[in-house]
Amino acid sequence: MTAQTIDGKAHADGLGARISGAIPSFREQTGRPPGLAVVLVGTDPASEVYVSSKGRMARKLGMASFEHILPEATTQQQLLDLIAQLNADDSVDGILVQLPLPAHLDSLPVIEAIDPAKDVDGLHPSSAGRLVSGLPGLVSCTPLGCLMLLRSQLGNLSGLDAVVVGRSILVGKPMAQLLLAENCTVSMAHSRTRDLPGKIRQADIVVAAAGQAEMIKGDWIKPGATVIDVGTSRIVRDGRKTLVGDVEFASACGVAGAITPVPGGVGPMTIMCLMHNTLLAACRRKALAEPR
Ligand code: NDP
């Protein structure tokens, strides 16, 4: 068996087309585009790339992008003051603080200071609580993108056995909640899990978000399972730097029914779900019909 490759870029392009198609009507009704504010503190090169690509994508789709690049020496209070200013700014519908923050800053109070109605990264405790409670809210972009890929691949997920590897607040925990809400039977695995291969072999759906390069081998996977590989690790192979996932792609392809590649799987969906969340937050703030 050769697994079908799930093309995250094509799915993201489709979602992007629906988002940009909805923006003219938002502008007509409100007199302005949806607005995304991204805050970066310091000069971490990877974070700079992420922030500029988010801004570029927002503008490409017809949104307003407000990029706040603050010096490394920014104090906790200065950052909190900026969040308060963005919360009060009606032209800003979504606020994202690029993590990790420099070591002298405490990220939790900063995230808690974001108005939950503008929490497009879905990291506010109120967003997490609403997800657990089954209330409408904003869901973290990466698990939301994974769910969209799974729904489009499998249709109804009800009754399927799912394993989520990783229990971070950003990916693993919200992913498990989303799958539970789809009526999957969900196991969460982490670094203390016993017999991880045995757990994964039971699963119709595997979402791998451990950040461990090629840890999950083909013979751990149930034949025909759908595998969503969130992990991204840079390794050197044959003398060249290569980006790989948590799943050993070549061996998994011989067993799985469908699998996301790295790169080109979950990554493009993550950024597009940020755009989706920004439009969703904008529509909710203005009491307009939500995008589908
Ligand atoms: P974290 O480091 O916060 O969490 C990793 C999780 O994996 C932890 O719960 C940890 O368990 C678990 N874990 C670590 N090692 C093992 C192991 N050997 N076996 C089982 N579980 C293990 O990472 P994130 O959730 O932030 O990210 C996970 C990966 O996804 C990273 O590679 C990251 O780069 C990638 N990522 C990709 C995105 C994309 O858009 N493509 C977006 C976000 C993340 P424990 O809790 O016990 O320590």
Q: Are residue 83 and residue 158 in the same domain, yes or no?
A: no
Give domain status of residue 42, yes or no. Answer: yes
For residue 243 and ligand 1, the question of a CB distance below 6 A is answered with no
Q: Which of 71, 98, 115 is the last residue of a domain?
A: 115
| Residue 232 annotated in ligand binding | yes
pLDDT higher than threshold 90 for residue 211:
yes
pLDDT value of position 106: 98
- Residues facing residue 35 across a β-bridge: 64
Q: How far is the CA of 118 from the centre of ligand 1 (A)?
A: 25
For residue 266 and ligand 1, the question of a CB distance below 6 A is answered with yes
The reply to whether the predicted model has a pTM over 0.90 is: yes
Give domain status of residue 151, yes or no. Answer: yes
| CATH code of the domain in which 241 resides | 3.40.50.720
Residue 213 · residue 203 · CB < 8 Å:
no
pLDDT higher than threshold 90 for residue 291:
no
Q: Are residue 99 and residue 196 in the same domain, yes or no?
A: no
Give domain status of residue 103, yes or no. Answer: yes
| Residue 32 annotated in ligand binding | no
Q: Are residue 172 and residue 226 in the same domain, yes or no?
A: yes
How far apart CA 243 and CA 261 sit, in angstroms, is 10
Q: Are residue 102 and residue 168 in the same domain, yes or no?
A: no
Give domain status of residue 282, yes or no. Answer: no
Strand-pair category, 205-208 with 233-237: unpaired
Q: How far is the CA of 60 from the centre of ligand 1 (A)?
A: 30
For residue 265 and ligand 1, the question of a CB distance below 6 A is answered with no
Q: Are residue 159 and residue 223 in the same domain, yes or no?
A: yes
How far apart CA 253 and CA 140 sit, in angstroms, is 28
Give domain status of residue 3, yes or no. Answer: no
The answer for residues whose C-beta is within 8 angstroms of residue 38's C-beta and 6 or more apart is 51, 54, 55, 65, 66, 67, 68, 96, 98
How far apart CA 286 and CA 44 sit, in angstroms, is 35
Give domain status of residue 19, yes or no. Answer: no
Give domain status of residue 275, yes or no. Answer: no
Domain count, the chain: 2
Give domain status of residue 102, yes or no. Answer: yes
Q: Are residue 152 and residue 252 in the same domain, yes or no?
A: yes
What is the mean predicted confidence (pLDDT) over 279-291? 96
State pLDDT tens for residues 117-151. Answer: 999 999 999 999 999 999 999 999 999 999 999 99
For residue 258 and ligand 1, the question of a CB distance below 6 A is answered with no
State the residue range of the domain holding 108.
30-115
What is the mean predicted confidence (pLDDT) over 28-32? 98
Q: How far is the CA of 165 from the centre of ligand 1 (A)?
A: 8
State pLDDT tens for residues 47-60. Answer: 999 999 999 999 99
- Residues facing residue 237 across a β-bridge: 240
The owner of tokens 């192979």 is: 237
Sheet holding 185-189, edge to edge: 4-5, 258-259, 226-229, 205-208, 161-165, 185-189
Q: Are residue 148 and residue 94 in the same domain, yes or no?
A: no
233: its two tokens: 């690790």
ipTM of the complex in this document: 0.99
Q: Are residue 82 and residue 158 in the same domain, yes or no?
A: no
